[in-house]
């Protein structure tokens, strides 16, 4: 993977600040129950090379998740890209965050790229055969999901802004909350109890609150003993 091009000269970068923040939230909460954490890989804005005969061809999803591969490349290194013919396993789910410049291609509404390469939709559906493809339109506060049936995507019905992925023991849905000090609807994963998978920051905050609550309970108990004439240091 180290000798493959990672950028085309003049290729536009990310369209706005929102894309990397949303993709990071997906990456942090993608924790399938049916796989060991060491056999789960996900990435944002990373090239997927899919054609060993034409290494100039790649797609770069906003976010994608793979299960059944080592978290680290060959269990030892961070990936510079995801090379299908080296990894041997295709992504299980891809998420594209819609923007005006990419929406037509993300939704399969164009025949081909100007350079003749397959579109994202064609690559995800026909070449990589990614089981789940999700597009999120933050301007409409809604997402659409497509499931590969045979060799074609069929749109799934979204109920209560949640989609359950039985194969992973994991769900994907819209959460209203504060992430990176921004309060809005975010796309993130939830568990089989309908609880949102916490980020590392959220876990640390929850642990801090639980510790403070435990200390407060201990202090209240200490004061109760004192009020009843009992030395707490002797109990």
H or E element: which one contains 106?
helix 103-106
Q: What confidence score (pLDDT) does residue 204 get?
A: 72
Three-state SS at 234: helix
H or E element: which one contains 136?
strand 132-137
- pLDDT band of residue 10 (cuts 50, 70, 90) is very low
Percent of the chain with pLDDT over 70: 91
60 touches 45 (CB < 8 A) = yes
- Identify which of 59, 21, 25 has the alpha carbon closest to the alpha carbon of residue 42: 25
pLDDT tens digits, one per residue of 195-218: 999 998 877 766 777 777 777 887
206 vs 9 pLDDT, higher one: 206
User: From the CB of residue 44, how many other CB atoms can be counted at a distance below 10 Å?
Assistant: 21
How many residues are given for the chain? 235
Distance CA 49, CA 51 (A): 6
Residues in CB range of 118: below 8 A, 6 or more apart: 57, 112, 126, 127
Write phi, then psi, for 182 (nearest 5 degrees): -125, 120
User: Taking the C-alpha atoms of 80, 174, 33 and 43 in order, what is their torsion angle to the nearest 10 degrees?
Assistant: 0
The sheet with strand 48-49 has its strands ordered as 58-59, 48-49, 82-83
- pLDDT band of residue 234 (cuts 50, 70, 90) is confident
- Identify which of 165, 203, 176 has the alpha carbon closest to the alpha carbon of residue 40: 165
pLDDT tens digits, one per residue of 42-96: 999 999 999 999 998 999 999 999 999 999 998 899 999 999 999 999 999 999 9
H or E element: which one contains 154?
strand 152-155
Q: What confidence score (pLDDT) does residue 235 get?
A: 65
Distance CA 137, CA 143 (A): 6
199 touches 188 (CB < 8 A) = no
* Distinct helix (H) and strand (E) counts, the chain: 5, 12
Mean pLDDT of 12-30: 84
Phi-psi region of 87 (alpha: psi -120 to 50; beta: other; left: phi over 0): alpha
């Amino acid at each position: 993977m180290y000798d493959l091009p990672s950028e085309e000269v003049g290729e536009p970068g990310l369209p706005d600040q929102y894309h990397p923040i949303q993709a990071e939230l997906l990456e942090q909460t993608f924790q399938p129950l049916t796989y060991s954490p060491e056999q789960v890989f996900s990435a944002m804005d990373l090239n997927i090379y899919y054609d060993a005969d034409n290494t100039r061809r790649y797609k770069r999803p906003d976010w994608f998740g793979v299960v059944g591969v080592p978290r680290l490349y060959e269990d030892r290194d961070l990936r510079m890209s995801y090379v299908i013919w080296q990894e041997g396993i295709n992504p299980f789910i891809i998420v594209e965050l819609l923007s005006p410049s990419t929406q037509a291609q993300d939704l399969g509404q164009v025949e081909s790229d100007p350079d003749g390469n397959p579109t994202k939709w064609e690559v995800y559906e026909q070449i990589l055969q990614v089981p789940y493809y999700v597009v999120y339109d933050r301007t409409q506060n809604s997402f659409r999901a497509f499931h590969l049936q045979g060799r074609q995507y069929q749109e799934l019905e979204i109920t209560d802004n949640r989609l359950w992925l039985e194969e992973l023991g994991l769900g994907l849905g819209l959460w209203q909350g504060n992430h990176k000090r921004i309060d809005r609807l975010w796309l993130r994963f939830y568990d089989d109890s309908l609880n949102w998978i916490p980020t590392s920051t959220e876990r640390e905050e929850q642990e801090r609150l639980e510790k403070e609550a435990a200390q407060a309970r201990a202090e209240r108990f200490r004061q109760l003993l004192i009020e009843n004439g009992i030395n707490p240091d002797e109990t």
